[in-house]
Amino acid sequence: MTVRTMVEAINHTLAREMARDERIIVFGEDVGANGGVFRATDGLIDRFGPDRVVDTPLAEALILGTAVGLAASGMVPVPEIQFLGFSYQAFHQLAGQIARLRYRSNGRFDAPITMRAPFGGGVRTPELHSEALEGQLANIPGLKVVMPASAHDAAGLLTSAIRDPDPVLFLEPLRGYRSLRDDLPDDADVIEPLGRAKLVREGTDLVIVAWSYQVEVARKAAEALAEEGASVAVLDLRSMVPLDIDALAAVVSRCGRVVVAEEAPMTAGFGGEVVATIVEECFYDLEAPPVRVSGYDVPFPMAQLEDRDVPSVARLAAGCRRALEVAP
Amino acid sequence: MDTSAVQRGPTDAELVGMLQTMIAARIYSTRCFNLQRQGRLGTMAPIDGNEATVVGCTYALQPEHDWIFSQYREFYALGRYGEEVIRRQVLYLAGHPEGSCYPAGVNVFPAQISLAAQIPHAVGMAWGQLRQGLPGVSVAFFGDGASSEGDFYEAANFAAVIKAPVIFMLINNGWAISTPTARQTAAATFADKAAAFGMPGVRVDGRDPIAVWEVVAAARARAVAGEGPTLVEAVTYRLGHHTTADDPTRYIPAEDMAAARAKDPVITYAAQLRELGLWDDAAQAAAEATAQAAIDAAVDAALATPLAPDAFFDHVYAETTPRMERQRALLLELEGKGQS
């Protein structure tokens, strides 16, 4: 066992999977000699060679467009988009092509494509490096959207994503790359199933539903609220598509109060989908209206203001108090 | 580089086969056009004017190894890839999901509506074949209009970098719906663009299937020899509608269309084979009758192909999600009540 940060866990998992399956090809901007701008692909080119770890031209539509043809040829493409915000330059290949390869071919072609991309606030990046696009992506049938919140889950969910016959968008939180770490095995697979949420903290009064780095924010908010006498659970959705409706409904029904935390802007964000699902599934078990704590309806802000936009521990705790104060 | 096929040129049987396939393409396309007008098939894009380019190209390929990445206009002329292609094309126009795919062994990708998006797919296929040591080249068909899309530039640039076995088959038929080539590019020719990618660019008469055959055979030999991609600009003229939803008399001058029709490739190539003693009235009648019978059978089969009301849940994912299964159950329940 070795303590690994999230980015080290991703690197270790990529190496294990590439050793297991020689059809896997990793490609993107600066993934070779540079090992990726965050070192997620560090050392892979030395071990697997430049035919399997390929630096592409600076062309996102090319990266995702060639993934379609590679998959149809029998390869297992694992492209990296350097920052999720740059995927706008390939959105037609993502939404119009990758998502539909199986459907357009009436099942002839699998699309075992895992697109990795970092995103998220809190690290003071330039414009278009931080935006959380999961709500937009989850609205595209044919894609799976997976967002790990720990080093362990990054390893376990990435393993499952690469082995999955469908396209998986694997979105990695920048803020968690080096701040989140777990003790992980050196010579054994870590496998976590896609489409399963995880209850990361027990509680009885309220549940915070979160994903990606907001799970860490939610844990801290729950600890703060515990000092005020509130028992707050945290559910890590882990996967937007497929959504674990049963786990979501079970914990909300049990707690009766729910806060949904997300980094993306509120309007039409995935949090709205979560709340709609809760209302459909467990309306009569609710003791208070669901509360959303999200980014504001603004483009992701410049560095000096980003801490006002990305939900903080204090803002999430305040949202929880609003839900807890409603009389039953 | 093995240039023996390029040296010998098409055989007499191939010359005749190309004409038969071109005649069939025109008949298939015209029949589908008329069926759209009758409300029995959906929007379609006629092949008229592109037959020689598509047929000349495919006859220079090896269908068991070489992949076609097409738009939506070329399928009528893909007879070299088997009659299943036209059967599926009619099914596609009938709005049936089985029409958007070709069975395993037919190396044709589904139709592409988002123009130029198929070009990086072709490069990806060629890249994958290269990595796996598989024989074959990938051919991307696209038009003068689609060449303005970023996907063309990104894909052609990278294909040259990795020497991918790809043939970029740019069909310049003069018009992108109503927009003439002068509004697409200020370059003297589309083939000139190849220089910037570091690959050869060849301009060929797209109305001459033998000329296209020779250019594609050379590009193929180059690709399989590991020397990389080629950009082919096949120059022809669209002899009518962009699609059934279009009226070309609004923007194509009548005299230009008349001049182009005088060089109709299906007619001029038949005359050429008659001069060579390879074609006569009986051959023409037989080719037309065979094509009519084939399209009749394809239309009858397409319109009789059953379709389950919940078929659209299939093939979105390898396994439908729990939520989709709930949606399917609801749809079938509503279907049973006549409320879907």
Report yes or no: B131 at the A interface, CB cutoff 8 Å: yes
SS3 label, residue B339: coil
Q: Which residues contact B111 (CB under 8 A, 6 or more apart)?
A: B70, B71, B72, B75, B92, B100
**Span B104-116, pLDDT tens digits:** 999 999 999 999 9
Binary contact (A68, B124; C-beta < 8 A): yes
Mean pLDDT, residues A78-90: 97
B150 reaches A (C-beta below 8 A): yes
Instruction: Identify all chain B residues contacting A70, using CB atoms and an 8 Å cutoff.
Output: 124-125, 127-128
The whole-angstrom distance between residue A78's C-alpha and the CA centroid of its chain comes to 16
A231 and A203 Cβ atoms separated by less than 8 Å: yes
If you average pLDDT over every residue of chain A, what do you get? 97
Measure Cα distances from A25 to A115, A217, A226, B117, B163 in Å. 12, 35, 47, 21, 17
Q: Which residues neighbour A296 within 8 Å (Cβ) at sequence distance 6 or greater?
A: A265, A266, A309
Q: Which residues of B are catalytic?
A: 238, 242, 251
Evaluate whether A221 touches A316 at the Cβ level (below 8 Å).
Answer: yes
pLDDT in tens, A278-288: 999 999 999 99
Q: What's A56's DSSP letter? A: P
The predicted structure's pLDDT at residue A89: 97
Question: Which chain A residue lies closest to B149 (C-alpha atoms)?
Answer: A61
Return the structure tokens found at A31.
């993934």
What string of DSSP letters covers A269-307? -HHHHHHHHHHHHHGGG-SS--EEEEE-SSSPPPGGGHH
Instruction: Measure CB to CB from residue A74 to each of B98, B132, B322 and give the nearest one.
Output: B132
Domain boundaries, chain A: 2-184, 198-325
Q: Does B243 score more than 90 pLDDT?
A: yes
Distances (CA, A) of B64 to A105, A229, B105, B269: 19, 71, 7, 27
Annotation marks residue A152 as catalytic? no
- The structure's pTM equals 0.97
Note the pLDDT of residue B106.
97
CB-side exposure of A124: number of CA atoms within 13 Å?
Answer: 2
Cα of A23 to nearest chain B Cα, Å: 8
A-interface mutation test, from B65, B127, B139, B305, most A Cβ less than 10 A away: B127
Chain A touched by B129 (CB under 8 Å): yes
For chain B, give the percent of residues with pLDDT over 90: 97
> Does residue B1 carry a pLDDT above 80?
no
Mean pLDDT score across all residues of chain B? 96
A69·B125 Cβ contact <8 A: yes
* CATH fold for the domain made of A2-184: Rossmann fold (3.40.50)
**Residues of chain B with C-beta less than 8 angstroms from the C-beta of A142:** 316-317
Contacts of B121 in chain A (CB under 8 A): 65-66, 68-69, 72, 97
Residue B148's pLDDT is what? Answer: 97
pLDDT of residue A169: 98
Q: What's the pLDDT tens digit per position in A303-326?
A: 999 999 999 999 999 999 999 999
pLDDT for B204? 98
Do B20 and B51 fall into the same domain? Answer: yes
- A159 at B interface, C-beta within 8 A: no
- Give CA–CA dist B268/B275, Å, rounded: 11
pLDDT band at B8 (very low <50, low <70, confident <90, very high): confident
Q: Residue A76: exposed, middle, or buried by beta-carbon count in 10 A (0-12, 13-18, 19+)?
A: buried
User: In the structure, what pLDDT confidence band is assigned to residue B5 with cuts at 50, 70 and 90?
Assistant: low
* A12, A92, A129, A152: the active-site residue: A129
Average pLDDT for B15-42: 97
pLDDT at A36 over 80: yes
Is A57 close to B127, i.e. CB distance below 8 A?
no
Quote the CA–CA distance of A303 and B122 in Å, as a whole number: 41
Same domain for B142 and B176:
yes
Judged by CB atoms closer than 8 Å, whether chains meet at B315 and A107 is answered as: yes
Rounded to an integer, the average pLDDT of B240-262 is 95
Asked if B131 and A75 come within 8 Å (Cβ–Cβ), the reply is yes
Query: Tokens standing for A107?
Result: 């099942």
Residue A241 to residue B97, Cβ atoms within 8 A: no
Q: Is the pLDDT of residue B21 over 80?
A: yes
> What residues form DSSP beta bridges with A172?
A118
Do B299 and B327 sit in the same domain of this protein? no
B133 and chain A: CB distance < 8 Å anywhere? Answer: no
A51: which chain B residues are within 8 Å (Cβ-Cβ)?
A: 131
Q: Is A259 exposed, middle or buried (0-12, 13-18, 19+ CB in 10 A)?
A: buried
B256 and B185 housed in the same domain: yes
Measured CA to CA in angstroms, residue B123 lies from A121, B109, B167 at distances of: 35, 13, 9
Question: What number is the average pLDDT over the span A8-20?
Answer: 98
Q: Is A28 on the interface with B (CB under 8 A)?
A: no
Q: What is the tens place of the pLDDT at every residue in A226-272?
A: 999 999 999 999 999 999 999 999 999 999 999 999 999 999 999 99
C-alpha span between A2 and A9 (Å, rounded) = 10
B151 at the A interface (CB within 8 A)?
Answer: yes
Same domain, B108 and B153: yes
Given CATH 3.40.50.300, say whether it is the number of domain A198-325: no
How far is A215 from A234, CA to CA, in rounded Å?
Answer: 7
With CA atoms as reference, report the closest residue to A181 among A218, A141, A205, A148.
A148
What sign for the dihedral angle of Cα B10, B11, B12, B13? Answer: negative
Q: What residue type is B222 in one-letter code?
A: R
Chain B residues lying within 8 Å of A65, measured CB to CB = 117, 119-121, 123-124, 151, 154-155
Judging contacts by C-beta atoms under 8 Å, the chain B residues touching residue A97 are 114, 117, 121
CA proximity to B121, closest of B85, B59, B161, B70: B70
Given this model, what pLDDT does residue B2 score?
66
- Residue appearing with tokens 């609710």: A286
**Do residues B263 and B323 both lie within one domain?**
no
Structure ipTM = 0.96
Token duo for residue A284:
């009569």
Looking at the structure of chain B, the number of domains it has is: 2
For A105, the closest of B100, B120, B161 (CB atoms) is B100
B294 shares its domain with B324 = no
Chain A contact for B198, CB < 8 A? no
**Span B87-111, average pLDDT:** 95
Residue A57: which of B129, B150, B158 has the nearest Cβ? B158
**Cβ-proximal residues to A140 (8 Å cutoff; 6+ apart), any chain:** A94, A95, A99
What is the Cα–Cα distance from B290 to B296, expressed in whole angstroms? 10
Q: Are the C-beta atoms of B169 and B234 separated by less than 8 Å? A: yes
pLDDT for residue B4 is more than 90: no
Same domain, B140 and B271: yes
Averaged over B77-94, what is the pLDDT?
96
Residues B59 and B197 in one domain: yes
Q: Is A67 on the interface with B (CB under 8 A)?
A: yes
By residue range, what is the domain housing residue B339? Answer: 309-340
The burial of B180, by beta-carbon neighbours within 10 Å (0-12 exposed, 13-18 middle, 19 or more buried), is given as middle
Shared domain for B86 and B179, answered yes or no, is: yes
**Residues B147, B248 share a domain:** yes
B21: CB partners within 8 A, 6+ apart: B51, B55, B58, B59, B77, B79, B80
Q: What are all long-range contacts of B328-336, with beta carbons under 8 Å and residues at least 24 apart?
A: B335/B309, B335/B310
Quote the minimal CA–CA distance from A167 to chain B in Å: 9
Task: Kindly state the tokens that stand for B184.
Answer: 């697409």
B301 and B337 share one domain: no
